[in-house]
C-alpha cells in the first residue's frame, strides 16, 4: 500500500517511516509556546514557520472576481428571474473556483459582531487556560496552536478553537465549552451555539440554491445535509514580524462540503485561480462561501474545491470564523444520477465523510490533490465495498 505522509510532503515513502509525524520536534521551538512567540519581539521567527520560496505569500495579490449572491431570491414570493440569475452566477463561480459572497442572508448582524468579539475572551486567556480545551493529536475539536499538530515544518501562524456541531444534538457547542472550560464559559458557549445554528440554517439554504444551480431538485442537497456532522472553527491570526516569510493558513482545499467564512475587515484570504494567487477582500456584513472536496465529489467534479490560504500581517490580529458543513459520518457520498453521463463519467469512488476525515487527519496534508489521492487510497483499500447503503 502506498503511504502518503513523508516528512511534510505527500509523497510515497519507505514503509519504515511512520505515517503520522510525531515526537521529533526542535527543542528550542518546543520550549517556546505559540503565546510566547507571538508576544515576543523577536524578529527572527523559528524556521518551522518559514515557507519555501515558491510558497511564500504574495501580499499584493490581485482581487478575485466573485459574484455577490442575494439570498433573498430564495424567499417565497420572490422573483423567479432573479432566482435563476443567482443560480447561474453560482454555477459559473463554482465551475471556475468555487468561491462566492452572500449578502441579505438573514443572519443577525449583532450575532455576527458578537461572534467576532467573543473570540478575544478565549484567545486572550493564558495558555494554561486555553489548554483546558486542548485538541489532541488526531482529534478534530478543541484548541490548537501550531505546535500540537502532526507537522514540524511550514507551520501556520495561527491558533484555532473548533467545535463539533450537529443539528440533532441539542446544545452540543454550549455543552462542550462548559465541560472543557467551566461554567464561566456558559454565555460564550451559548453564543457559538446560536451562531452555529444560524450557519447551519444558511448552509441548508445555500444547498437549495446550489441544487437549483446544478439543475437538480431544490430540495436535493438540502435533504442530503439536513442531518449533518459539521465543524465551527474560530481562527485567530496574531500579527507577525515577518509576514512575507510565513502563512496564517497554508495552501489547502477544504475537505468538507461547504464552507461559510466570516472574515473581519483586516483581509488575508487568498485563492489560487487561473494559475495565480488572488485576494478575497473583506465585505462588511457578507459571508464568503466556498465548495469543499466532499461537495466536489457530490457534484461529480463539476463544482471545484479550490486551493486557498490566509496571509498574515505585521500590524494587527486577524480573526475569521469558518463553518464547515459535512454529511453524517457514515452517509455514502456519491453524485446525483443526473450529474453522471457519457461526457462526464464517475470521477470518484463512493466514500464516506468518516473516510475522508480520517485520511486528511492521519495520512495526508490537504492540498490541491487531496480528492485524487483519497480516491486512490479508497480504491487501494477496497473500502468502498464496505459502504452499506
Which residue's CB is nearer to Ni ion, number 238 or number 255?
255
What residues contact residue 312 under an 8 Å CB cut-off, 6+ apart?
157, 158, 237, 238, 239, 240, 243, 246, 247, 248, 268, 318
365 belongs to the binding site for ligand OGA (CB under 6 A): no
Q: Name the residue with cell 458578537.
A: 114
318 is catalytic: yes
Residue 240 half-sphere exposure toward CB, CA atoms < 13 A = 25
| Stretch touching ligand OGA by CB under 6 A, among 172-180, 184-192, 215-223, 263-271 | 263-271
Q: Among 171-179, 260-268, 333-341, 379-387, which window interacts with ligand OGA (CB under 6 A)? A: 260-268
Catalytic residue among 180, 318, 346, 365: 318
Residue 174 near which of Ni ion, ligand OGA, none (CB within 5-8 Å, type-dependent): none
Burial track 295-306 (b if 16+ CB lie within 10 A, e otherwise): bbbbbbbbbbbb
Four-residue CA torsion sign, 180, 183, 185, 188? positive
**233 contacts which partner out of Ni ion, ligand OGA, none, CB within 5 to 8 A by kind?**
ligand OGA
How many Å apart are CA 163 and CA 181, to the nearest integer?
13
C-alpha cell at 243: 509576514
Residue 202, binding choice from Ni ion, ligand OGA, none, Cβ under 5 to 8 Å by partner class: none
Closest CB 310 distance from Ni ion, rounded Å = 8
Of 254, 333, 360, 365, the one binding ligand OGA (CB under 6 A) is 254
Binding mask 237-256 toward Ni ion (x if CB under 5 A, else -) reads -----------------x--
Identify whether the C-beta of residue 203 lies closer than 8 Å to the C-beta of residue 259: no
Which of 279, 320, 370, 375 is close enough to bind ligand OGA by CB under 6 A?
320
CA distance 5 to 184: 40
Q: Which does 115 bind (CB under 5 to 8 A by kind): ligand OGA, Ni ion, none?
A: none
User: Which residues sit at the interface with ligand OGA, rule CB under 6 A?
Assistant: 233, 235, 249, 254, 261, 263, 268-269, 308, 310, 320, 322
Amino acid at each position: 500500500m502506498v503511504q502518503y505522509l513523508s516528512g511534510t510532503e505527500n509523497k510515497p515513502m519507505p514503509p519504515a517511516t511512520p505515517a503520522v509525524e510525531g515526537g521529533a520536534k526542535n527543542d528550542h521551538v518546543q520550549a517556546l509556546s505559540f503565546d510566547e512567540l507571538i508576544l515576543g519581539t523577536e524578529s527572527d521567527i523559528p524556521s518551522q514557520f518559514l515557507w519555501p520560496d515558491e510558497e511564500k505569500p504574495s501580499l499584493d495579490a490581485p482581487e478575485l472576481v466573485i459574484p455577490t449572491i442575494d439570498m433573498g431570491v430564495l424567499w417565497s414570493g420572490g422573483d423567479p428571474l432573479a432566482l435563476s440569475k443567482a443560480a447561474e452566477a453560482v454555477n459559473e463561480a463554482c465551475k471556475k473556483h468555487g468561491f462566492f459572497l452572500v449578502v441579505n442572508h438573514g443572519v443577525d448582524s449583532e450575532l455576527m459582531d458578537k461572534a467576532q468579539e467573543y473570540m478575544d475572551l478565549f484567545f486572550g486567556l493564558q495558555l494554561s487556560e486555553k489548554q483546558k480545551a486542548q485538541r489532541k493529536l488526531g482529534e478534530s475539536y478543541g484548541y490548537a496552536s501550531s505546535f500540537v499538530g502532526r507537522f514540524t515544518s511550514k507551520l501556520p501562524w495561527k491558533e484555532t478553537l473548533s467545535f463539533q456541531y450537529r443539528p440533532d444534538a441539542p446544545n452540543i457547542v454550549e455543552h462542550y465549552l462548559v465541560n472543557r472550560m467551566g461554567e464561566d464559559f456558559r454565555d460564550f458557549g451559548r453564543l457559538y451555539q446560536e451562531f452555529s445554528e444560524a450557519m447551519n440554517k444558511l448552509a441548508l439554504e445555500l444547498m437549495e440554491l446550489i441544487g437549483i444551480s446544478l439543475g437538480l431538485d431544490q430540495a436535493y442537497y438540502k435533504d442530503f445535509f439536513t442531518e449533518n456532522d459539521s465543524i465551527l472553527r474560530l481562527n485567530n491570526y496574531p500579527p507577525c514580524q515577518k509576514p512575507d516569510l510565513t502563512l496564517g493558513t497554508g495552501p489547502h482545499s477544504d475537505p468538507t462540503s461547504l464552507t461559510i467564512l466570516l472574515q473581519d475587515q483586516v483581509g488575508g484570504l487568498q485563492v489560487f485561480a487561473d494559475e495565480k494567487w488572488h485576494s478575497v477582500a473583506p465585505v462588511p456584513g457578507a459571508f464568503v462561501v466556498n465548495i469543499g472536496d466532499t461537495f466536489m465529489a457530490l457534484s461529480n467534479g463539476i463544482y471545484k474545491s479550490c486551493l486557498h490560504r490566509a496571509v498574515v500581517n505585521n500590524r494587527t490580529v486577524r480573526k475569521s470564523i469558518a463553518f464547515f458543513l459535512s454529511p453524517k459520518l457514515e452517509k455514502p457520498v456519491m453524485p446525483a444520477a443526473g450529474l453522471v453521463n457519457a461526457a462526464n463519467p464517475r470521477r470518484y469512488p463512493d466514500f464516506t465523510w468518516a473516510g475522508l476525515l480520517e485520511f486528511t487527519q492521519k495520512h495526508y496534508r490537504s492540498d490541491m490533490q487531496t480528492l485524487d489521492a483519497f480516491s486512490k487510497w479508497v480504491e487501494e483499500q477496497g473500502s468502498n465495498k464496505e459502504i452499506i447503503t
